[in-house]
Amino acid sequence: MSATKRLRLFDPFRVSTIRTLIGLLASTGMRIGEVLWLKLEDTNLTATPPYLVIRDTKFGKSRNVVLHPTVRDHLRRYLSERARILGAKRVDVFLTNRKGKRLNYSSQRLMFGRLLRSAGIRSTPGHRSPTLHSFRHTFAVRRLTQWHRDRENVQELLPHLSVYLGHIGPASTYWYLTATPELLQTAARSFERQQNQGAESK
């Protein structure tokens, strides 16, 4: 987010749009295509809780994505800025450029590469560079890790996370368990505790 302020060639509204795009990816785990195609009419920011409607995406599924209040507040500010820039122009998509056009994926990918370089973020040897999809991966891993740390029943909660992410089933979501050493270690400790508790009860 700090690196976006160093994009001197971009006008303030473009920077605001980029920050909103990254914020949505990081806070919801949405797919980049879902964010780019999000329609204005599918943002329900006055609801309790606030949520987005993601329609007919991968696997032909639609779902509601609940938002944290801080995300809602940022989206409201973006909407105000968006209305000031676009004036009376009617634009269906939520994220837009000054001309009211939908953001192009290739352009956002290149922009993200510039942000990574500006922020000094580089891939570790033997690993791929971060991509816009990495936010979704990180969202899922952090949620799973936190549930394990809190000693929650991950097996019971996993279907809810699958629905939230728009996965076809829990198996697709649980794949993230193998993704990071930290998550594997946290899950292993949780499993060990369960085994010890079971032995003590006997």
Here the CATH number for the domain that contains residue 100 is 1.10.443.10
Q: Residue 96 — φ and ψ, nearest 5°? A: -145, 165
Query: What is the mean predicted confidence (pLDDT) over 48-76?
Result: 91
pLDDT at 201 over 60: no
8-state DSSP, 129:
P
The answer to whether residue 196 scores a pLDDT higher than 80 is: no
Tell me which of 55, 58, 77, 109 is the catalytic residue: 58
Mean pLDDT of the chain: 86
Do residues 108 and 149 both lie within one domain? no
Alpha-carbon distance of 181 to 186, in angstroms, equals 9
- The better pLDDT of the pair 74, 147 is held by 74
Q: Has 68 been annotated as catalytic?
A: no
With respect to residue 124, please indicate whether it lies within any of the assigned structural domains.
Answer: no
CA torsion, ordered 84, 86, 90, 95, to nearest 10 deg: -90
Give yes or no for a contact between 190 and 148, defined as CB atoms under 8 angstroms apart: yes
Same-domain status, 9 and 99: yes
Torsion of CA 120, 146, 63, 19, to 10 degrees: -20
Closest CA to 1 of 25, 23, 17, 34: 23
pLDDT category at 191 given cuts 50, 70, 90 is low
Bridge partners of residue 63, in order along the sequence: 54
| Residue, of 6 and 178, whose pLDDT is higher | 6
> What's the DSSP call for residue 131?
-
| Percent of the chain predicted with pLDDT > 70 | 85
User: pTM above the 0.85 mark?
Assistant: no
Report whether 63 contacts 166 (CB < 8 A). yes
Strands, sheet with 43-44, edge to edge from the N-terminal-most edge strand: 43-44, 51-54, 63-66
Asked whether the predicted pLDDT for residue 46 surpasses 90, the reply is yes
Together in a domain, 104 and 31: yes
Is 128 part of any domain? no
Overall domain count for the chain: 2
Reported confidence tier of residue 167, pLDDT bands at 50, 70, 90: confident
The single residue of 51, 78, 174, 176 carrying the catalytic annotation is: 176
Question: Taking 70 as the threshold, does the pLDDT of residue 197 lie above it?
Answer: no
On whether residue 127 sits in a domain, the answer given is no
Residue holding tokens 């973020």? 121
Q: Is 136 labeled as catalytic in the residue annotation?
A: yes
Does residue 55 have an active-site annotation?
A: no
In this structure, of 53-57, 147-151, 180-184, the range with the lowest mean pLDDT score is 180-184
CA 165-63-177 angle, 5° bins = 15
176 catalytic residue (yes or no): yes
Round to whole Å and give the CA distance between 66 and 164: 8
Q: For residue 31, indicate whether it is catalytic.
A: yes
Domain that holds residue 180: 134-201
160 within a domain of the structure (yes/no): yes
The model's confidence at residue 177, banded by pLDDT at 50, 70 and 90, is low
Residue with structure tokens 């269906």?
92
pLDDT given at position 155:
81
